[in-house]
Amino acid sequence: MGMNELIDPRRNLNLDSVQNLRDLGGYSTKEGRKTKWGIFLRSGDMSAMTKDDQAALLRQGIRCVIDLRMAKEIAIAPNVFSDSKKVAFFNHDFWGTRFDEYRSKRKSATPEEKLSDLYCAGLEINGFVMAAVMKTLASSEGSFVFHCRSGKDRTGLVAALLLVIAGVPDEMVAKDFGLSTTYLNEPELTEDDLKKPGAYQKGSAPETMMLTLDFLRDRYGGVEGYLSDQGVSVSEIESVREKILGD
């Protein structure tokens, strides 16, 4: 069941002008339900999307686009939907300039641990941004696409939280995170690559997301405790859950 769900052909939208675009549907939850297709799409940079690919997304029912990137990224490559009349567009800048000087503190940690440290620090310090994303998802209509630059880190965190809210087991949430490697055709990092500063930020190993979810459980009792701590109400979380699970 598991691997088949990961590689379900419906997951990949096969639009050539955007990278790492995939659907969060078709995952089994612990309660025996499935996440709904066509409701939440995760993506990389959408600045080069062709008119045909934009039309394909609109046909999918996309009515809300969330750009998680920083102002400097947007200035270089604005989202094609940023001034569209056909969708509600939001910029929820996850990192801001708050992590410009960030360095992993644990010098001897594995790349997976270092990247997870970045995610955990990001979730703590930028919790108000994650809360704004969830409130937008709870209150907006239609289907959604959310994205950052490569669609791996910021996008990966939002996707993971959505799947956990739906009741998808952590192992599968982590494997979905790991699909970025396939979708981005990332080469395996060599030992020499890993010695370069910031090299750990390139990977998308499932272990990184497992460590991040463990942190949220230890620190907040889980994803819902974390979101509640950031000011997301129970009814807003419930609204998001209903959307991702459908009928």
Q: Tens digit of pLDDT per residue, the chain (247 long)?
A: 567 999 999 999 999 999 999 999 999 999 999 999 999 999 999 999 999 999 999 999 999 999 999 999 999 999 999 999 999 999 999 999 999 999 888 888 999 999 999 999 999 999 999 999 999 999 999 999 999 999 999 999 999 999 999 999 999 999 999 999 999 977 666 777 767 777 888 889 999 999 999 999 999 999 999 999 999 999 999 999 999 998 6
Tell me how far apart the alpha carbons of residues 24 and 152 are, in angstroms, rounded to a whole number.
14
- Is the residue at 68 inside a domain? yes
Q: Which two tokens stand for residue 243?
A: 């959307």
Reading across the β-sheet that carries 22-23, which strands appear in turn?
Answer: 22-23, 40-43, 143-147, 62-67, 88-91
Cα atoms found within 13 Å of the Cα of residue 50, Cβ hemisphere only = 7
- Is the residue at 6 inside a domain? no
Tell me how far apart the alpha carbons of residues 73 and 19 are, in angstroms, rounded to a whole number.
16
- Is the residue at 13 inside a domain? no
- Is the residue at 185 inside a domain? yes
Whichever domain contains 145, its CATH number is 3.90.190.10
- Is the residue at 118 inside a domain? yes
Parent domain of 135: 20-245
Report the predicted TM-score, pTM, of the whole model to 2 decimal places: 0.96
Give the count of beta carbons closer than 10 Å to the beta carbon of residue 3.
8
Q: What is the dihedral of CA 98, 102, 104, 110, to 10 degrees?
A: 80
How many domains is the chain built from?
A: 1
- Is the residue at 7 inside a domain? no
For residue 79, CA distances in Å to 76, 87, 93, 156 come to 10, 12, 13, 18
Residues 6+ positions from 223 with CB-CB distance below 8 Å: 161, 164, 165, 213, 216
Tell me how far apart the alpha carbons of residues 38 and 15 are, in angstroms, rounded to a whole number.
14
- Is the residue at 201 inside a domain? yes
Q: What is the DSSP letter of 46?
A: -
- Is the residue at 33 inside a domain? yes
